[in-house]
Amino acid sequence: MSIEKISFESEAEKTCEDLLDLALRTDPDNSEALQSLASVRMSQQRPDEAKQILEQAWTKWKDLHLDDPALPPISNRLTFVRLFLELELYTPAFLVLQGIMATDDQEVEAWYLEGWCLFLMSERAKETGDKLDDMSWDELAKDSRGCLETCQVVSLSFLLLLLLQPNHCDIVTRQSRSSRQTSP
């Protein structure tokens, strides 16, 4: 690795830290800034700090009603789920996914992540011999498979819609982009 690249990476990291610090001084409850800071901590190999920051961010909106405008958009909540899974925080990931599914049960990524979350939970339950969220490893594995199969069906349904109604392709794409930018 060249000196210039190392220097650029350290400068980029410092700039990122400075910008996140500014964002959090401006709005200490900003869950997106906290989520980004947790992601930075993970990239810095500081998972304990990342967990603390992510849980702090989640507590600011986890008890909000699904129609509350303060609830982060689905795309942001999916990012929370991915971070929770990476940090092996399966129960919060699962709870966030349940809220997303209650809002939009056609969200392909949510089905996939729920299946992955349940699979990871089943692996942990199998390793420890304990139940997780009152479910045995084989129950979790079965539910995981069901979620992944549903993910496949939802995904194929969306693709079939696009193939059968190509004139709707532009409309669906615009709606998808719009909902990811504005959906709760």
**CATH number of the domain enclosing 38:** 1.25.40
Tell the burial category of 55 from Cβ atoms under 10 Å away from its Cβ (0-12, 13-18, 19+): middle
In this structure, are 161 and 98 located in the same domain? yes
Q: What's the confidence (pLDDT) of residue 50?
A: 96
Q: What is the pTM for the complete model shown?
A: 0.80
14 and 49, same domain (yes or no): yes
Final residue of a structural domain among 40, 60, 80: 60
Same domain, residue pair 12 and 49: yes
Judge if 152 and 178 occupy the same domain.
yes
Same domain, 12 and 76: no
Range of 94's domain?
64-184
Of 94, 122, 134, 125, nearest to 110 (Cα)? 94
Q: Output the CA angle 173-178-184, nearest 5 degrees.
A: 130
pLDDT score at 14: 86
pLDDT of residue 135: 87
Do 78 and 51 lie in one domain? The reply is no
Pair 99, 56 in one domain: no
Are residues 2 and 76 both part of a single domain? no
Residues 82 and 136 in one domain: yes
pLDDT at 3: 36
Crossing angle of helices 47-59 and 74-86, in 10° steps, is: 150
Same domain, 32 and 105: no
- Compute mean pLDDT per 10 residues along the chain, 184 residues long, and list them: 49 87 92 93 94 94 93 95 96 95 93 95 92 87 93 87 68 52 48
User: What pLDDT is stored for residue 166 in this prediction?
Assistant: 63
Same domain, 174 and 111: yes
Extract the tokens encoding 179. Answer: 């909902």
Q: What is the model's pLDDT at position 7?
A: 45
- The pLDDT score that the predictor gives to residue 178 is 52
